[in-house]
Amino acid sequence: MRSVITQFLAENQQLKDQANQQTTEITARKNTIEELLARQKQLLSTIESQEIVNQRLKDQVNRLTNYLDEHPNMIIQHQEQTDQQTTRIRQIEEQIGQLPTSE
């Protein structure tokens, strides 16, 4: 009877050790899963923020596109004005260069 009890106690201890080892492994896996879930939530939050920024940029592009569609000649007019001003500046510089110098 003693040998049966001793064997039973040894098996019982072995099962306790296995249970403890499995509990430790489960806890480690649980912690890993919790860390991954936290990281996933953080990434989702970042994605949502980026989607908001992206939508704002799309809205700005649409507004600018609409503005340019409403004013198609505006850029051309500004370029023509700039060209005229550049030409006028060159003419003035030439006139200045032709003035007699006083020595």
- Structural domain boundaries, residue 41: 2-93
Task: Using a cut of 0.75, tell me whether the model's pTM lies above it.
Answer: no
Residue written as tokens 């060159």? Answer: 90
Tell me, yes or no, whether 69 lies in a domain: yes
Tell me, yes or no, whether 67 lies in a domain: yes
Tell me, yes or no, whether 89 lies in a domain: yes
d(CA 71, CA 15) in angstroms, rounded, equals 82
Give 68's contacts (C-beta < 8 A, 6+ positions apart).
74, 75
Tell me, yes or no, whether 7 lies in a domain: yes
pLDDT of residue 1: 86
Domain count, the chain: 1
User: Which residue type does 6 have?
Assistant: T
Tell me, yes or no, whether 74 lies in a domain: yes
Tell me, yes or no, whether 46 lies in a domain: yes
- pLDDT per residue as tens digits for the range 12-49: 999 999 999 999 999 999 999 999 999 999 999 999 99
pLDDT of residue 102: 64
